[in-house]
Each structure stands twice: as structure tokens, then as C-alpha cells.
């Protein structure tokens, strides 16, 4: 996981440093705490990436292998008792890059697709950290350059 001053948290789960990447970015513009999951297959292996819960004004990005298939993206909101509610779900047989904005209230949450900022807009000075599942010391920053 990588954070920067733009309140974007990035998680990557790539097969190798040479893998092309797709990404999902979810921005929370609501008054509730949210999270999202991305499940997909690469070959015969199933991956389940989950964002942490994040509050209004924060974004979370998951980078994933561009060779993925059978994708399911699900966004959730949480009430004060920490019960989750599905806001939206998108499925695809092919990899995609999507940016979603979560809005509304806990009683009437909504999810809309928005245009994505170029991935190069994330500052290149992001330091690599152990949770980047590329298993190398230099692959994560290269994804942002």
C-alpha cells in the first residue's frame, strides 16, 4: 500500500514487474465510510483485493494485472454498527480501468462512474513499500512513471 498527499491510497497486486496494469479508483464523496472489493482471475488463480474502509474525501486505487478475467467490482458503505450495504456492483469478462465516485447518504447511497485522471498525475516520488506485491524493490514506482 502506498499513500501520497492527494489522499490516494494505492495497492498493487501484479504477477511480475513486467506485467501491464489496469486500475480501479474509488473516491468517497459521501457522508459514510466505504470500501470496495475487486475479484478476478489470472489464468486459473483467483484474486480478491479489498480496500480498507475509507472516509469521505479519500480515494483508494487497486492496480491489477491487465491479463485478468472474470472481474467483479463491488462497493460498500458502513453504518455506525459497522454493518455493510452493497452500493453497486460491476462485472466484466475483460480487464478494465474504472474510476467511481461514491455519494449520497447512508440511507440512499449512490455510485457513479467518473472520468479517470491520468495515472501519471500520481506523484512519481511514491516510495515502494513491502505490501506492494510485485516482490521487487523498484517495480512499483515504475508503474507510475
Question: Is residue 1's pLDDT more than 70?
Answer: no
C-alpha cell at 22: 489496469
Joined together, the cell numbers standing for residue 56 give: 469521505
pLDDT digits (tens, 9 = 90+) for 98-134: 999 999 999 999 999 999 877 544 433 333 333 444 4
pLDDT at residue 117, rounded to an integer: 78
Contact indicator for 23, 61 with CB cutoff of 8 Å = yes
Indicate the domain borders of the chain.
Answer: 2-139
Predicted TM-score of the model (pTM): 0.72
Contact predicate 37/73, CB 8 Å? yes
Say whether pLDDT at 139 is over 90: no
pLDDT at 87 over 70: yes
Instruction: Say which CATH architecture domain 2-139 belongs to.
Output: Sandwich (2.60)
Banded model confidence at residue 73, pLDDT cuts 50, 70, 90: very high
Q: pLDDT of 28-68, one tens digit each?
A: 999 999 999 999 999 999 999 999 999 999 999 999 999 99
What is the maximum span of the chain, computed from C-alpha positions, in angstroms?
Answer: 44
pLDDT in tens, 12-33: 554 444 567 899 999 999 999 9
For residue 62, how far is the Cα from the chain centroid?
Answer: 3
The answer to whether 114 touches 139, Cβ cutoff 8 Å, is no
Mean pLDDT of 76-83: 96
Amino acid at each position: 500500500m502506498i499513500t501520497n498527499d492527494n489522499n490516494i491510497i494505492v495497492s498493487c497486486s501484479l504477477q511480475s514487474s513486467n506485467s501491464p496494469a489496469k486500475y480501479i479508483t474509488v473516491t468517497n464523496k459521501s457522508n459514510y465510510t466505504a470500501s470496495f472489493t475487486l475479484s478476478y482471475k489470472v489464468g486459473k488463480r483467483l484474486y480478491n483485493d479489498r480496500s480498507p474502509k475509507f472516509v469521505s474525501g479519500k480515494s483508494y486505487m487497486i492496480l491489477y494485472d491487465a491479463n485478468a478475467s472474470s472481474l467483479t467490482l463491488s462497493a460498500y458503505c458502513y453504518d455506525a454498527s459497522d454493518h455493510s450495504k452493497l452500493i453497486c456492483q460491476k462485472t466484466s469478462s475483460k480487464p478494465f480501468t474504472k474510476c467511481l465516485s461514491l455519494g449520497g447518504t447512508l440511507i440512499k447511497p449512490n455510485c457513479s462512474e467518473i472520468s479517470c485522471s491520468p495515472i501519471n498525475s500520481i506523484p512519481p516520488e511514491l516510495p515502494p513499500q513491502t505490501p506492494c506485491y510485485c516482490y521487487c524493490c523498484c517495480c512499483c514506482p515504475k508503474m507510475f512513471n
